[in-house]
């Protein structure tokens, strides 16, 4: 049964179920040839406790909130019981890591339980940290509570920002020891996405010189997720390579837009290897990611990335580089290098188009026009120089009036984020002139800006506080953050501390590939 593309009337008649056995399942990935995966049973967490469950994600698969509190939910999402109707498997993929071909990788600690169909289509449910698989290589198949809390929170924070991402359904923890730099404890996150297929899934079959399986994978992805790529556009003759070229062009567009989304909120992914690049253009694999506090254009959030390959300002180019690896993997199906290059050529325009649209909105401009690049560059330069806070910098711009007035009473101003206030004021003078030329009323512009510049962001120190509490079996902070970050744009009473500059100790937090 395929449930990926339902129409609206069906949504209204669907009832949420309280029992996982009543979920409608699909398992389309498991229906692919067995070359694509190994069937694996999860290794259950010892004495698990449910740290948090997400009713919003549950609703997507048709699961009622009551279901989240029951023993069956904990048993399934701690790996102790199979998902009713599921078909657990670990998928194989390969990839380029830090610019170097890494060969075969695969789900070394992730496990696809099955696909559930709900009001919002079909969702793969995947455990992360559920034990060894044939692709675990030197790893232990586990994930620690620290990194699992970070993945759980980030998935939902990204969704709240309106950025395409895998979702998080559940976070389960245990006292089972896991050895990293120190002894930590184990946890499992259940992630959801329409598909977890990665660029590296394609690279795998190209490197294995299996064009037959490469074609099977490409056809699966097209038919299920990019059906618009199958037919030739009107007036164009269909060719054997056409659908694959159109797929590449579509993934190129989505990836470019995702990069624009990340840049616009100061998000650094940290490990943009091709095995972490979603074929659907979703943010995938929340490891050593970070939302920037003070703006540093070259910010590297991953302590293990000593060369700074995945710095914030490198991300758009890395996205393009990764697409070249995907294009290379499609070569056996297309056999035409020039055509592949042409499909990739839309990247820059797609990225800049999306980025300028977003930045115009963040600056409160009705549209991007000539000269705005210099205006924005001036802002980046001033913020970078003083390490002015990324999120508050944009948020406070909404308080800037188009003509110079005295600062809002009691409020902290944009300039307060700068050491060199004169430089900030000089930039503001140019900005005010541009606002006057744009001609919007201040109040309307401020309201629109507050809808695109988040007040609350998942700063490292906020995640850290949630982790510390969770280690003492207190999930209250996780719950508060999930609720708050669901709508990061609207000021919420009592949440002032979440909107403040980070404390000094936040500067000493380090995140790395250790997870
Ligand atoms: N503790 C571990 N045990 C086994 N394999 C691991 C472990 N940590 C990472 N890996 C594997 O190493 C490769 C690269 O790891 P990476 O950190 O990108 O992925 P991940 O965080 O484990 O998972 P995902 O990409 O699914 O979010 C992947 O094949 C991953 O499954
Ligand atoms: Mg990964």
pLDDT in tens, 153-204: 999 999 999 999 999 999 999 999 999 999 999 999 999 999 999 999 999 9
Q: Give the pLDDT confidence score for residue 181 in this predicted structure.
A: 94
Separation CA 182–CA 164 (nearest Å): 34
* CA-based max dimension of the chain: 69
Residue range 428-441: average pLDDT?
97
Q: Give the pLDDT confidence score for residue 3 in this predicted structure.
A: 56
pLDDT digit string, tens, across residues 458-470: 999 999 999 999 9
The answer to whether the CB of 107 is under 6 A from ligand 1 is yes
Residue range 106-121: average pLDDT?
95
Q: Percent helix, strand, coil in the chain (nearest 5)?
A: 45, 15, 40
> Whose Cα sits closest to atom 22 in ligand 1?
109
Mean pLDDT of the chain: 95
Q: Which of 266, 261, 259, 260 is nearest to 391 (CA)?
A: 266
Q: Which of 228, 250, 2 is nearest to 121 (CA)?
A: 2
Ligand that comes closest to the CA of residue 287: 1
Q: Give the pLDDT confidence score for residue 290 in this predicted structure.
A: 97
Q: Give the pLDDT confidence score for residue 18 in this predicted structure.
A: 93
pLDDT band at residue 8, thresholds of 50, 70 and 90? very low
Residue 7 has pLDDT above 60, yes or no: no
Asked if residues 166 and 494 have their Cβ atoms less than 8 Å apart, the reply is no
Pocket probe mutation, ligand 1, options 100, 107, 108, 283, max atoms within 8 Å of Cβ: 108
Residue 231 has pLDDT above 70, yes or no: yes
pLDDT digit string, tens, across residues 37-72: 999 999 999 999 999 999 999 999 999 999 999 999
> Whose Cα sits closest to atom 5 in ligand 1?
108
Q: DSSP of 371-432, one letter per residue? A: THHHHHHHHHHHHHHHT-BHHHHHHHHTT--SS--PPPTTPPPSGGG-S-HHHHHHHHHHHH
User: Which residue in this structure is represented by tokens 């996150």?
Assistant: 189
Q: Which of 484, 471, 483 is nearest to 51 (CA)?
A: 471
Residue range 400-428: average pLDDT?
90
Residue range 404-417: average pLDDT?
84
Asked if residues 460 and 288 have their Cβ atoms less than 8 Å apart, the reply is no
The answer to whether the CB of 139 is under 6 A from ligand 1 is yes
The residues assigned a catalytic role are 275
Separation CA 491–CA 456 (nearest Å): 8
Q: Give the pLDDT confidence score for residue 13 in this predicted structure.
A: 53
Q: Give the pLDDT confidence score for residue 15 in this predicted structure.
A: 83
Nearest atom, ligand 1, residue 93 CA: 29
Separation CA 176–CA 131 (nearest Å): 12
Alpha helices by DSSP H, listed for 61-108, are: 71-77
Residue 198 marked ligand-binding: yes
Q: Give the pLDDT confidence score for residue 405 in this predicted structure.
A: 80
Between 8 and 494, where is the model more confident? 494
Phi, psi dihedrals of residue 115, rounded to the nearest 5°: -120, 130
Q: Which of 70, 84, 178 is nearest to 125 (CA)?
A: 84
């Amino acid at each position: 049964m395929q449930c990926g593309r339902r129409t609206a009337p069906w949504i209204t008649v669907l009832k949420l179920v309280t029992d996982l056995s009543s979920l409608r399942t699909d398992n389309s990935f498991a229906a692919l040839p067995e070359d694509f995966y190994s069937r694996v049973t999860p290794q259950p967490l010892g004495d698990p406790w449910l740290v948090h469950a997400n009713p919003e994600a549950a609703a997507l698969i048709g699961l009622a909130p009551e279901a989240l509190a029951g023993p069956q939910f904990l048993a399934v999402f701690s790996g102790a019981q199979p998902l009713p109707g599921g078909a657990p498997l670990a998928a194989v993929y390969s990839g380029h890591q830090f610019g170097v071909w890494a060969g075969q990788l695969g789900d070394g600690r992730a496990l696809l339980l099955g696909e559930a169909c709900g009001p919002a289509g079909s969702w793969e449910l995947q455990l992360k940290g559920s034990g060894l698989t044939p692709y675990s290589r030197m790893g232990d198949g586990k994930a620690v509570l620290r990194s699992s809390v970070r993945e759980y929170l980030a998935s939902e924070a990204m969704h709240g920002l309106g950025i395409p991402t895998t979702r998080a359904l559940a976070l389960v923890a245990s006292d089972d020891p896991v050895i990293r730099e120190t002894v930590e404890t184990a946890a499992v996150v259940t992630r959801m996405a329409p598909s977890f297929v990665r660029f590296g899934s394609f690279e795998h079959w190209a490197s294995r010189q299996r064009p037959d399986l490469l074609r099977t994978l490409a056809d699966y992805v097209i038919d299920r997720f990019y059906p618009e790529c199958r037919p030739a556009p009107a007036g164009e003759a269909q060719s054997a390579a056409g659908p694959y070229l159109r797929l590449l062009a579509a993934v190129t567009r989505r990836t470019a837009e995702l990069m624009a989304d990340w840049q616009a909120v100061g998000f650094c992914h940290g490990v943009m290897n091709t095995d972490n690049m979603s074929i659907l253009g979703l943010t995938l694999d929340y490891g050593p990611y970070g939302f920037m506090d003070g703006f540093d254009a070259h910010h590297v959030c991953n302590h293990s990335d000593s060369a700074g390959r995945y710095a914030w300002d490198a991300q758009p180019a890395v996205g393009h580089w990764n697409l070249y690896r995907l294009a290379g993997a499609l070569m056996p199906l297309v056999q035409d290098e020039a055509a592949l290059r042409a499909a990739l050529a839309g990247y820059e325009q797609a990225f800049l188009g999306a980025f300028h649209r977003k930045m115009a909105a963040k600056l409160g401009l009705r549209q991007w026009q000539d000269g705005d690049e210099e205006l924005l560059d001036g802002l980046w330069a001033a913020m970078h120089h003083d390490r002015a806070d990324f999120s508050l910098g944009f948020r406070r711009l909404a308080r800037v009036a188009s003509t110079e007035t005295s600062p809002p009473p009691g409020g902290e101003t944009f300039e307060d984020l700068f050491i060199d206030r004169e430089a900030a004021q000089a930039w503001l003078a140019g900005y005010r002139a541009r606002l006057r030329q744009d001609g919007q009323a201040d109040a309307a512009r401020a309201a629109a800006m507050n809808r695109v510049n988040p007040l609350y962001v998942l700063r490292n120190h906020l995640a850290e506080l949630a982790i510390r509490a969770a280690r003492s079996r207190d999930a209250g902070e996780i719950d508060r953050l999930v609720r708050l970050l669901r709508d990061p744009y609207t000021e919420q009473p009592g949440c002032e501390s979440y909107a403040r500059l980070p404390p000094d100790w936040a500067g000493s937090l380090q995140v790395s590939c250790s997870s």
